[in-house]
Chains A and B, each alone.
Chain A
Amino acid sequence: MSLLDVKDLTVRRADGRELVTGVSFTVGTGDRLGLIGESGSGKSLTALAVMGLLPAGMTAHGSAVLDGTEIVGARDGKLDGVRGRAAAVVFQEPLTALDPLMRVGHQLAEPLRRHQRLRGGPLRAAVMAALAEVRLDERVARAYPHEISGGQRQRVAIAMALACRPKLLIADEPTTALDVTVQAEVLTLLDGLVASRGMALLFISHDLAVVAGVTDRIVVLKEGVAVESGSVRDIVYEPRHAYTRSLVNSAWELEGELDRMAP
């Protein structure tokens, strides 16, 4: 049985408009799936629907089974036990994803305390270990989110997601808000951590090059519909859908631009 099994998932707004229409995909244990599409294509909503955390007024239909629990239509209280343990999320904008009034160490301690039942000294040690794992200095623990850089904040967010020891890590455009050099560092870090823990990864991005670098399979979303899916290789070399072709072509063009400038 796969870790995440999404079948015919549809997300509707209160006025009946469909923002995601009949999307299906599966992620097995240790799998890496990329969800790609332009902004507004329903990538993030799909991720939120999988966690049972759609914004107020939106409803999910169809089925999303996460680690054996049906998320669509489930009672909220029941999902508290599934969230974090089965899957954790890293969001796009790390500044707003961290509580501005809480020191980084305290925020990081929260999931550690809850999921690993640590207290006092061991908890403190676990916070330090979690920071070291994402290559952050111990001093960061005493800082507030606004006092550290964007890259550091995203590392903290990753550490918080990993602290839950999830089987599936959902990364929702985790590097989009970062500088290009920092982006590469964070991607390498994420890649290494997912590999070393044997986690499954659902990577959401609009950037084909980034997705191709960290995942094995890709689902292409356009206006809430999955227009194409397949292995990274197939998508990049033999795109079938017109939209996918345009995605691939523009990625190649960027690449070609750089090649031409090379000495």
Chain B
Amino acid sequence: MKRSPTFLIGCVLVALVCAVAVVSLLWLPYDPSDTSGGRLVPPGGAHWLGTDKLGRDLLSRLMVGARIALTVGFGSVLVGGVLGVTAGLLAGFATRWLDDTISAVLDILIAFPTLLLAMLVVAVRQASLGSAVLAIGLAMSAIVARLTRVLVKRVLAQDYITASRTSGTSWPRVVTEHVLPNIWPTLLVNLALQLGLAVLAEASLSYLGLGPPPPNASWGRLLQEAQATVLTAPTGAIAPGVLLVVLVVGVNLVADGFRDLADPTRRRSR
């Protein structure tokens, strides 16, 4: 099977960030909260990417940040995926009134800005990694649920479902044999795209101080801390920004690749 080059590039980019996160578990140049490096040391020598205004090693903090970005990304996709797909399947198969109820709840949830939802969650719990995952996952679940519902409805209206039923296939079997395999590719692509959005959402939450609290070195927080010194020490803002772009672009390219792999009608035409 021929893979598209964009898919490979996406895989490489994501793997790069994953590798950084894994290495950060085993080895770091410095302790990310060690302030002995001297303030705003420029890149080079002992500190490859320099230090921040408190004298902490930027590379070490970036590496820890990769861990946070990936945890929030995959964590919220897990939360949003499980909640969203379940609700969507329920609404897709449900009779009229249950479908209407679920759809109404989803519409309200989608109309709610993610930030407001995050502030609510943070207000109820505390600003933490878990709160960020929960808030982003919750916001995501509404979008995933609505997509799942539409996909299920569309597949159920297809002739091959009726055809399969006329040959005596039971409902549960129709769902596992025909419905799930036919909605899965689109769902997977969407979840991959949501992963990229979740990473960005976490960066914004951290930037606003609603993410994991300091000294947690989330990329959004690094950006916010480097803001004041962006003209004198630009590396502090550029480095986390570049990593953020690398991860999100990588994830989106992988999502595109999934779509081509999962759909046999696209595979040939390439």
Contacts and interface: CB of A to CB of B under 8 A. Distances in A.
Interface string A45-77: 000100101000000000000000000000011
A102 interface: yes
Interface in B243-270: 263-265, 268
Interface string A102-113: 100000001100
B160 A83 contact: no
Nearest to B163: A97
B182 A83 contact: no
Interface in B158-210: 158-160, 162-171, 177-178, 181-182, 185
Contacts, number: 86
A160 B162 CA distance: 13
B181 to A, nearest CB: 5
Contacts of A84: 166-169
B263 to A, nearest CB: 8
B162 A114 contact: no
Contacts of B164: 99, 110
B264 A160 contact: no
Contacts of B268: 147
A93 interface: yes
A163 B177 CA distance: 18
Contacts of A146: 264-265
What are the 3 tightest A-B residue pairs by CB atom distance, in nearest-first order?
A84-B168, A83-B168, A96-B159
Given A102-B178, A115-B168, 12 more contacts: A48-B162, A85-B168, A91-B162, A96-B160, A99-B160, A99-B178, A100-B182, A101-B182, A111-B167, A114-B169, A160-B163, A164-B168
Interface of B: 158-160, 162-171, 177-178, 181-182, 185, 263-265, 268
